[in-house]
């Protein structure tokens, strides 16, 4: 079965290949019976294949084969009609452009143009017919481009219209939710989660109206809802025999509807046609009965006959059911929002607890703040640090608007908001940005434009404030009370994470660095050297090691005292670290000896680096209580390959010994080939 299927699949490509050869050789122009018979058989096969399968389910490559077959047929007709059939060929091509994907359509056009060029070439007529060939190709290519451009534009317009329709539906749901008091006017971006709640309440409203219509037989029964600010009322749902009801906005203080809203009590009147202000013109009925939906609006009914007291109670019971449904959905929404708020908070706490460095903690806090409050257009975390008795601030992490200008910004303590938040330990500003004459967030030289809402939260850890969390948005409604509560809690947890990671970094530094010089200590140096030697062997890259020893250091201690010796050690360490590259590792090896690991550095490069450090040390002056002192260093160099890290270290030590023996203040390289 598999062999039969493969034979069937290969039959059409084989026939097309044969027809292409016959077309280019001019067999159709010479009316070859074999050529026309093969074309007829292939055409019948294509028609049968199309008839036996659904066109929509036909594979695209088969559609392309059919298009090529039609093109060959058209070119064959053109050969025997002297070119009269050429328009047919390219009309077929243009038709297949509509059916095929753009890539297959372009391939088909290219094949047809190639076949026509091949036929011209075989007949020796290509030089004289290339303008015709170019015009044919241009026509079909332009048609394909215009069609797909138009199709793409229509699809884009349809997607935009769909998004706009969804946005209108969401906006309408949010407006209804606010009218039903499912959310407060300060809450934003809740539309998607409120769709279900709004639909549920509207179903209850329609059910209540249906019951009222069946029980009271009114002319109209309707629900009117107050706007969130209480300044207008709108018709939300109704069942009416009239098309003259006004949807609003209406005044909440006019007519009998206004009496229900103002008193919060049921109103039942007769002969009230002139007071039914929710009709356009004079009302067609005169009796009215209305009951309040507590704090939200009113459920009203009207008809020609007066309403009885028991009918008023029916309407009041329905209003109570509607109020209960609204309150239940509001409470469910509040529970859901509280749950989501807690989930966001615990997620932020978990992410902060995973951080191990100060930079990670700061970046995580900024990312979590923007996740909690997506409306933020600027979020930055600043750290307050005391240096030489003066407080300074720096931006440790930032995201959003003006991020490039604020990244790594450092500034002195000033009268700006960030500085004041650190001093006061309380969020600022305490009022809207629009009410402030001039806003300095960081310092006078840094201006952030376009913000309509801003809140800066202190990062408090215990009794101290370690920095601030700056949150701003271009939208004035982006920082409601609920969002500010979440961000304030995040700021507390971020402060704890910053203190923890700072202590961790300090502990790690104490464990890996020398307390006097600030260079790597001996234990860390040994581990790093072994790792770098293995890395150099694995990747077959050079590695060099420098050993430095301060010349006549004992004289410094004996003549000027150990404090002066310590100052000299710190000074030489500073020079070595300054002259080394960022990728190099400087360590205190022991006593007055220091080491520098030079990754990816051969013997020549190591010699240059050693001379640079030696010369810099020779020029440097080291301030001590006895005055400025100068010292020199001797340097030993060893370069891989070496049998081990210990072997490399031994070779560098021997080179250092020779430098001492040969007069000091000089550089010597290892002589043995194993570490030269």
Positions marked catalytic: 592
DSSP helix/strand/coil, 666: coil
The rounded distance, in Å, linking the Cα atoms of 452 and 436 is: 11
| Structural domain spans, the chain | 2-152, 191-333, 355-506, 513-675
Beta strands in 90-248 (DSSP E): 220-226, 233-240
Query: Do residues 144 and 108 lie in contact, with contact meaning Cβ atoms separated by under 8 Å?
Result: no
Q: Which pLDDT score, from 0 to 100, does residue 187 have?
A: 43
Neighbours of 330 (CB within 10 A): 18
Question: Is 513-675 the same fold as 191-333?
Answer: no
Query: Do residues 70 and 111 lie in contact, with contact meaning Cβ atoms separated by under 8 Å?
Result: no
How far is C-alpha 263 from the chain's CA centre? 52
Q: Which of 171, 209, 446, 194 is nearest to 318 (CA)?
A: 209
The rounded distance, in Å, linking the Cα atoms of 640 and 345 is: 53
* Burial classification of residue 615, based on how many CB atoms lie within 10 Å of its CB (0-12 exposed, 13-18 middle, 19 or more buried): middle
pLDDT digits (tens, 9 = 90+) for 374-401: 889 999 999 998 877 789 999 999 998 7
Q: Which pLDDT score, from 0 to 100, does residue 184 have?
A: 46
What is the per-residue burial (b if ≥16 Cβ within 10 Å, else e) of 232-258? ebbbbbbebeeeebeebebebeebbbb
pLDDT digits (tens, 9 = 90+) for 448-459: 888 889 999 999
DSSP helix/strand/coil, 373: coil
The rounded distance, in Å, linking the Cα atoms of 317 and 266 is: 11
172: pLDDT strictly greater than 90 = no
Q: Which pLDDT score, from 0 to 100, does residue 113 have?
A: 73
DSSP helix/strand/coil, 546: strand
191-333 topology per CATH: Beta-Lactamase (3.30.450)
How do strand 633-639 and strand 667-669 relate by DSSP bridges? Answer: parallel
The CATH number for 513-675, chosen from 3.40.50.2300, 3.40.50.2000, 3.30.70.270, 3.10.450.50, is 3.30.70.270
Q: Which of 266, 328, 329, 333 is nearest to 298 (CA)?
A: 266
Q: Which helix (H) or strand (E) holds 495?
A: helix 481-512
Confidence class of residue 56 from pLDDT cuts 50, 70 and 90?
Answer: very low
Q: Which pLDDT score, from 0 to 100, does residue 188 have?
A: 40
The CATH number for 355-506, chosen from 3.40.50.10070, 3.30.450.40, 3.40.50.150, 2.60.40.10, is 3.30.450.40
How far is C-alpha 60 from the chain's CA centre? 37
Confidence class of residue 467 from pLDDT cuts 50, 70 and 90?
Answer: very high
pLDDT digits (tens, 9 = 90+) for 118-151: 766 766 666 776 776 677 667 666 766 676 677 6
């Amino acid at each position: 079965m598999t062999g039969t299927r493969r034979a069937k699949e290969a039959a059409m490509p084989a026939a097309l290949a044969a027809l292409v050869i016959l077309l280019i050789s001019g067999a159709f122009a010479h009316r070859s019976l074999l050529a026309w018979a093969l074309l007829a058989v292939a055409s019948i096969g294509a028609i049968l294949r199309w008839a036996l399968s659904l066109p929509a389910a036909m594979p695209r490559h088969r559609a392309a084969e059919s298009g090529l077959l039609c093109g060959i047929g058209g070119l064959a007709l053109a050969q025997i009609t002297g070119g009269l059939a050429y328009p047919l060929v390219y009309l077929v091509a243009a038709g297949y452009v509509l059916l095929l994907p753009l890539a297959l359509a372009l391939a088909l056009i290219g094949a047809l143009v190639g076949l026509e060029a091949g036929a011209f070439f075989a007949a020796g007529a290509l030089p004289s017919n290339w303008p015709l060939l170019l015009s044919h190709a241009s026509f079909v290519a332009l048609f394909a481009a215009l069609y797909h451009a138009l199709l793409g534009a229509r699809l884009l317009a349809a997607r935009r219209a769909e998004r706009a329709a969804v946005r209108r539906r969401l906006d309408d749901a949010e407006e209804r939710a606010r009218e039903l008091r499912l959310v407060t006017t300060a809450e934003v971006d809740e539309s998607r989660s409120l769709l279900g709640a709004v639909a549920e309440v509207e179903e209850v409203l329609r059910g209540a109206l249906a019951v009222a219509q069946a029980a009271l037989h009114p002319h109209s029964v309707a629900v009117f809802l107050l706007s969130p600010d209480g300044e207008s009322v709108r018709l939300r749902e109704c069942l009416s025999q009239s098309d003259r009801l006004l949807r609003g906005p209406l005044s909440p203080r006019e007519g009998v509807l206004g009496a229900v809203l103002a008193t919060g009590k049921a109103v039942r009147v007769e002969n009230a046609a002139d007071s039914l202000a929710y009709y356009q013109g004079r009302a067609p009925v005169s009796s009215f009965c209305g009951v309040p939906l507590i704090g939200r609006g009113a459920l009203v009914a009207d008809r020609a006959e007066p309403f009885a007291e028991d009918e008023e109670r029916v309407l009041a019971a329905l209003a109570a059911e509607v109020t209960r449904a609204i309150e239940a959905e509001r409470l469910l929404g509040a529970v859901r929002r509280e749950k989501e708020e807690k989930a966001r908070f615990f997620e932020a706490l978990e992410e902060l607890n995973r951080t191990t460095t100060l930079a990670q903690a700061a970046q995580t806090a900024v990312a979590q703040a923007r996740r909690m409050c997506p409306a933020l257009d600027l979020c930055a975390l600043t750290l307050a640090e005391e240096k030489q008795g003066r407080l300074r601030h720096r931006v440790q992490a930032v995201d959003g608007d003006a991020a490039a200008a604020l990244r790594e910004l450092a500034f002195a303590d000033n009268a700006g908001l960030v500085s004041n938040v650190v001093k006061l330990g309380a969020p600022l500003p305490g009022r809207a940005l629009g009410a402030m004459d001039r806003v300095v967030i960081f310092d006078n030289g840094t201006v952030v434009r376009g913000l309509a809402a801003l809140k800066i939260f202190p990062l408090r850890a215990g009794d101290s404030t370690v920095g601030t969390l700056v949150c701003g948005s271009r939208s004035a409604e982006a920082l409601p009370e609920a969002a500010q509560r979440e961000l304030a809690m995040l700021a507390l947890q971020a402060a704890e994470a910053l203190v923890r990671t700072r202590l961790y970094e300090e502990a790690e530094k104490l464990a890996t660095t020398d307390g006097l010089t600030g260079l790597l200590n001996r234990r860390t140096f040994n581990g790093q050297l072994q790792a770098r030697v293995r890395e150099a062997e694995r990747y077959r890259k050079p590695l060099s090691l420098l050993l430095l020893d301060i010349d006549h250091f004992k004289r410094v201690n004996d003549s000027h005292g150990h404090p002066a010796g310590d100052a000299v050690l710190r000074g030489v360490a500073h020079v070595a670290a300054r002259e080394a590259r960022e990728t190099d590792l400087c360590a205190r090896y022991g006593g007055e000896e220091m080491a520098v690991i030079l990754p990816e550095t051969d013997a020549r490069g190591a010699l240059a680096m050693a001379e640079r450090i030696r010369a810099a040390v020779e020029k440097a002056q080291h301030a001590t209580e006895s005055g400025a002192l100068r010292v020199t260093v001797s340097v030993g160099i060893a370069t891989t390959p070496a049998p081990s890290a210990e072997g490399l270290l031994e070779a560098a030590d021997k080179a250092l010994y020779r430098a001492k023996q040969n007069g000091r203040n000089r550089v010597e390289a290892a002589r043995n080939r194993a570490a030269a």
